[in-house]
Amino acid sequence: MQKFVWPFLALGLLLTACVIPSEEDPFERIPEEKIITISGEVFPFDVAVATSATHRVERDGKLVAYVASDVVLLNSFEGEEVEFDGFIRQEKMREIFWVQKVRIQKTDIVEVAYPPLDNIYESRNIAFEYPPNWSVSQAPDGVAYFSTDTNSVRSVFMTFSIETAKKSLNDPNILISNLTGIKRIEQDENGKEREMVELYGNTSKNVYKFILTREKDEYDKKKEFLEILNSIVEGEIAISELKRQQLKELAKREAEKIEAKKVEEIQAKLEIPVEYEPPVIEKKSGNFVNSLKNLFTRVESGAPIDDVGLVQELLVDENSNNVKIKAEVFKNLIDQRAFYYESHHYGFSMWSPYGYWFKNFGPSDTAITEIGFAPYAIAEKSQAVFILKVLEGVIQSNETETNGSILIQRMAEGKDKYFELSGSSQHRDAMKSIEAKLKAF
pLDDT for 107-127, tens place per residue? 666 666 677 888 899 988 899
CB neighbour burial string for 292-314, b if at least 16 within 10 angstroms, e if fewer: beebeeebeeebeeeebbbbeee
Higher-confidence residue: 5 or 121?
Answer: 121
Superfamily of domain 36-104 in the CATH hierarchy: Nucleic acid-binding proteins (2.40.50.140)
pLDDT at 315 over 80: no
Mean pLDDT of 95-116: 80
Sign of CA dihedral 89, 91, 96, 99: negative
pLDDT at 169 over 80: no
Predicted confidence at residue 312, as pLDDT, reads 41
- Does the pLDDT at position 189 exceed 70? yes
pLDDT at 22: 41
- Look at residue 335 and tell me whether its pLDDT is greater than 50: yes
Lowest mean pLDDT among 23-32, 85-94, 207-216: 23-32
Residue 311 has pLDDT above 80, yes or no: no
Most confident of the ranges 112-126, 147-161, 195-209? 195-209
Q: Of the ranges 8-12, 113-117, 172-176, 409-413, which one carries the lowest mean pLDDT score? A: 8-12
In whole angstroms, give the CA distance from residue 290 to residue 246: 51
* pLDDT (mean) for 54-68: 93
Q: Is the pLDDT of residue 24 over 80?
A: no
pLDDT value at position 342? 81
Amino acid symbol at 338: A
Dihedral of alpha carbons 200, 202, 205, 210, sign? negative
CB-CB contact of 274 with 329 (8 Å):
yes
CATH of 339-440, one of 3.30.200, 3.30.750, 3.40.50, 1.10.10: 3.30.200
pLDDT score of 417 more than 90: no
CA 227 to CA 219: how far, in whole Å? 13
CA 311 to CA 333: how far, in whole Å?
Answer: 13
H/E run at residue 429: helix 428-437
Kindly list the distances between the CA atom of residue 196 and the CA atoms of 158, 174, 181, 184, 297, in Å, as whole numbers in the listed order. Answer: 10, 12, 10, 5, 65
What's domain 119-234's architecture?
3-Layer(aba) Sandwich (3.40)
Closest CA to 206 of 235, 242, 228: 235
* Prediction pTM value: 0.49
63 within 8 A of 42, measured Cβ to Cβ: no
Distance CA(57)–CA(65), nearest Å, equals 5
